Amino acid sequence: MPGRRVVITGLGMVSPIGHNKGEFWSQLMEGRSGIAAIDRFDTTDFPAKIAAQVKNFQVQDYIPRKEARRMDLFVQYGCAAARIAVEDAKLSIKPEDADRIGVWIGSGIGGIETFEKQHAVMLQKGVGSLSPFFIPMMISNMAAGQVAIMLGVRGPNGCTVTACASGSNSVGEAFQLIKNDKADVMISGGTEASVTPVGIGGFCALKALSTANEEPLKACRPFDLNRNGFVMGEGAGILVLEEMEHALKRGAHIYAELIGYGATADAAHVVQPDMEGRGAALAFRMALNEAGLKPEEVDYINAHGTGTDLNDQVETKAIKDVFGAHSSKLMVSSTKANTGHMLGAAGAIELIASTLAMAHNTVPPTLNLETPDPLCDLDYVPEGPRQQQLNVVLSDSLGFGGHNAALIIRKLR
């Protein structure tokens, strides 16, 4: 479809495997995992005792301490990743440009840590003891709001809440805003901080989490026959998206062009995907159609790949449905065994991984794939990083509620 061209010029992340693109990429290439025993609270009574926690995060490196105290951890992560992304893009934000620069940052759950703590305060000390910052700290849109305040930008500002697809949908919405001349620059992605007692406990109640507590590095096993659930992660992934001529005019480094976006619903179940993969397949086709591509032009898919039975099988089915005979030639991998499932930040951090894969012409591997599930029979790159010319990459996300999102990037030409 016609419209302005959109490119990626900045990458920022706060993740379980690094807080800059160099560290993040090297950890992916070395097959490192950020999954370990939870050390923030007592997990004695929890079936799942492991997660991919953010480590060595010093909030004062990005935000003044006084301001950070009025932010939930998910907002702190989002602000830090946004600052890293803007610095990576070498984007100088002038007051006269502020109206054309926007922020769109998703979160699946938002300030659950703040909610838990303030609820405890109310029960112990009464309603009069609640913090006046309780609501502004907790609500999911506040990462986008605080980033705009921090950077002084007044363009389109929003938050997409679509569970595990939130980051991908947010980038897709930001892409459309630039494409349709509503903004010249968008700072976009996702952020999440749900490694809390209620966060972990809630997913335990769903029986969605891996309980391979004795072997945390082996616990997340996308597409493997012996997988037994996903592992919670946390952090933020933020990208700077820019109208191409705007980027070229200021001499920006361009990582890739964002060319396609698909967003659909399964209309099937609140936590299970449509068993035929129709919603995911439709999102793939929608993104391909907007990009003006044939399925055989895609070189690599960074899959949602959670390490749960239904997700892995349905995602495989959707890929085979859309890509047909080309499916056997496609490289497909999941980076969730490295980062854990970062929920609302997952799609954004995985788009960053896809962008770096294209920049390095190297596909990150799927860790812990030792015994392939017979129903998952694609090339999941299990043996280690694979050097390959990458011209077109698709990244997809599938969320609770049946939300599906697909994004396609291409080398600039």
Going by pLDDT thresholds of 50, 70 and 90, the confidence category of residue 3 is confident
Q: Are 102 and 174 in contact (CB under 8 A)?
A: yes
pLDDT over 60 (residue 1): no
The whole-chain average pLDDT of the chain stands at 97
353-372 average pLDDT score: 98
Pairing of strands 300-302, 157-158: unpaired
Q: In angstroms, rounded to a whole number, what is the distance separating the alpha carbons of residues 160 and 199? A: 20
For 14-55, the pLDDT digits (tens) are 999 999 999 999 999 999 999 999 999 999 999 999 999 999
For 290-346, the pLDDT digits (tens) are 999 999 999 999 999 999 999 999 999 999 999 999 999 999 999 999 999 999 999
Residues with a known catalytic role: 164, 304, 341
For 184-243, the pLDDT digits (tens) are 999 999 999 999 999 999 999 999 999 999 999 999 999 999 999 999 999 999 999 999
- 6-249: CATH, from 3.90.190.20, 3.40.50.300, 3.40.47.10, 3.40.630.10: 3.40.47.10
Helices (H), 129-196: 134-138, 142-151, 166-179
Q: In angstroms, rounded to a whole number, what is the distance separating the alpha carbons of residues 244 and 185? A: 10
Quickly count: other Cβ atoms within 10 Å of residue 297's Cβ: 14
Percent of residues, the chain, with pLDDT higher than 90: 99
Q: In angstroms, rounded to a whole number, what is the distance separating the alpha carbons of residues 323 and 115? A: 43
Task: Return all residues near 98 (Cβ < 8 A) that are at least 6 apart.
Answer: 152, 153, 154, 155
Task: Return all residues near 208 (Cβ < 8 A) that are at least 6 apart.
Answer: 229, 230, 271, 308
Report domain extents, the chain.
Answer: 6-249, 260-410
For 82-112, the pLDDT digits (tens) are 999 999 999 999 999 999 999 999 999 999 9
Residue 22 gets which letter from DSSP? H
Q: In angstroms, rounded to a whole number, what is the distance separating the alpha carbons of residues 115 and 72? A: 9
Q: Regarding the domain delimited by 260-410, which CATH topology (the fold level of the hierarchy) does it fall under?
A: Peroxisomal Thiolase; Chain A, domain 1 (3.40.47)
Element (H, E) at 394: strand 392-399
pLDDT over 90 (residue 2): no
